[in-house]
Amino acid sequence: MTSRKKPGVQRRRLGSKLRQLREQADISVETVMDELDWSRSKLSRIETAINTITVPDVRALCGLYGADGELTDQLVRMSKQAKKKGWWHAYSDALTDYFNDYIELESEATSVTNYQIDLIPGLLQTSEYAHAVIEAWTPDITKDVVDRRTELRIARQRQLDGELKLWAVIDESALRRRCGDDSVMARQLRHVREMAERPNVTVQVLPFEAGTHIAMGTAFTLLDFGGVYDPVVYIDNLTSALYLEEGHEVERYTLAAEHLRAVALDPRRSVARLEEIQAELSR
């Protein structure tokens, strides 16, 4: 028995938004069936993301639901994007469903704000550091899969060669936790410093002396899409991930990100702290 591949995140978001629009407009399934001459199955399979939806069908639903032009255009873009295969599909042999969703979102984001407690952010990791982390995180997978996931992590970083903006707040504990030997860590810290010189990358260190803060115990990533789509918060764990899209939830994490930026060392002093820790590794 073959398993059905999970629909992409954009298709699921589109189906969910179309259902929300219908419910907000207080339009029944039967009304959609009558007005558009659709079967109940067709609408259900669109709203549950089992089937893709064409651009004319998106426009028909938006017209029926009274959506304005801006929202209609946004949903049309989502429909077109949902049909595309991204560069990461070449790594499908090493991807979990939940992280496939994240990479799809990251590839469309205009900016990423990442707070990490005990890890260097993935977009700033060296290959050897990433390999050590992935190997420790998933000891039950084969070396080939570890290698492929490492390659994928490094491939993601090519987005920083384009227009993607990264704002990374890194807890000092992540800079001092050994992943590999001292030489691996020294090269990793040097790499973070070099990346911080890019105009689209901002790195701030949250030092131990900052004490308690709003996001203690919770690493998170805030993805912004420049107003094309609503922001999304991503939180991962050992076996799955959480995606937060509700306005009040995103607002809470946006506030947390602003607080972290305020209490962390500024970019110049953050580079100085990186240099200090790197020097300690050479003693």
Domains and CATH numbers, the chain: 9-82 (1.10.260.40), 88-281 (3.30.870)
pLDDT averaged over the chain?
Answer: 91
> Are 163 and 197 a contacting pair, CB within 8 Å?
no
Q: Tell me how far apart the alpha carbons of residues 97 and 84 are, in angstroms, rounded to a whole number.
A: 17
Q: Tell me how far apart the alpha carbons of residues 78 and 230 are, in angstroms, rounded to a whole number.
A: 12
3-state secondary structure of 171: strand
pLDDT digits (tens, 9 = 90+) for 250-283: 999 999 999 999 999 999 999 999 999 999 987 7
Q: Tell me how far apart the alpha carbons of residues 94 and 100 are, in angstroms, rounded to a whole number.
A: 10
Q: What is the mean pLDDT of residues 153-159?
A: 96
pLDDT digits (tens, 9 = 90+) for 211-236: 999 999 999 999 999 887 789 999 99
- pLDDT score, position 1: 33
Q: Tell me how far apart the alpha carbons of residues 188 and 157 are, in angstroms, rounded to a whole number.
A: 14
pTM: 0.79
Number of Cα atoms under 13 Å in the Cβ half of residue 249: 14
* Beta-bridge partner residues of 100: none
Residue 93, Cβ density class (10 Å: 0-12 exposed, 13-18 middle, ≥19 buried): exposed
- The pLDDT-based confidence of 2 (bands split at 50, 70, 90) is very low
Q: Tell me how far apart the alpha carbons of residues 112 and 165 are, in angstroms, rounded to a whole number.
A: 6
Beginning with the edge strand found earlier in the chain, give each strand of the sheet holding 111-116 in spatial order.
201-206, 165-171, 111-116, 220-224, 232-236, 241-244
Residue 245 has pLDDT above 60, yes or no: yes
Q: Tell me how far apart the alpha carbons of residues 19 and 16 are, in angstroms, rounded to a whole number.
A: 5
pLDDT digits (tens, 9 = 90+) for 169-182: 999 999 999 999 99
